[in-house]
Amino acid sequence: MYDRSSDVWVLLLQLLVPLAAAMAGEQAKTVKQRLVALYWSAHQRFYRQMLMASKVGSCAVVRLQHSALVLLLLLQRRAR
């Protein structure tokens, strides 16, 4: 599970870097910084929850899958 989730996070970062680089305008730097901050914040939260799930059991894994889906949908909406 760890290997698959790390692959997803790498893919997500590979999608966000060109998106951030393509931004232009007055507020582009601020938006880029917020995108990077959101990514790493979500990344840390996800792995903290994964660690907790390994200690708690399978009931927390369902929550991890749900939160990862919500994160991807949120980032997709913000990218538009």
Q: d(Cα 71, Cα 62) in Å, to the nearest integer?
A: 14
H or E element that contains 33: helix 28-56
**Those residues with Cβ within 8 angstroms of residue 19's Cβ, 6 or more apart along the chain or in another chain:** 35, 79
- Backbone phi, psi, residue 23, to 5°: -70, 140
The total number of structural domains that make up the chain: 1
pTM: 0.60
**pLDDT tens digit string along 7-55?**
989 998 888 888 877 877 777 888 888 888 888 999 999 988 888 877 7
**Those residues with Cβ within 8 angstroms of residue 49's Cβ, 6 or more apart along the chain or in another chain:** 60, 63, 64, 67
Structural domain for 42, as ranges? 2-79
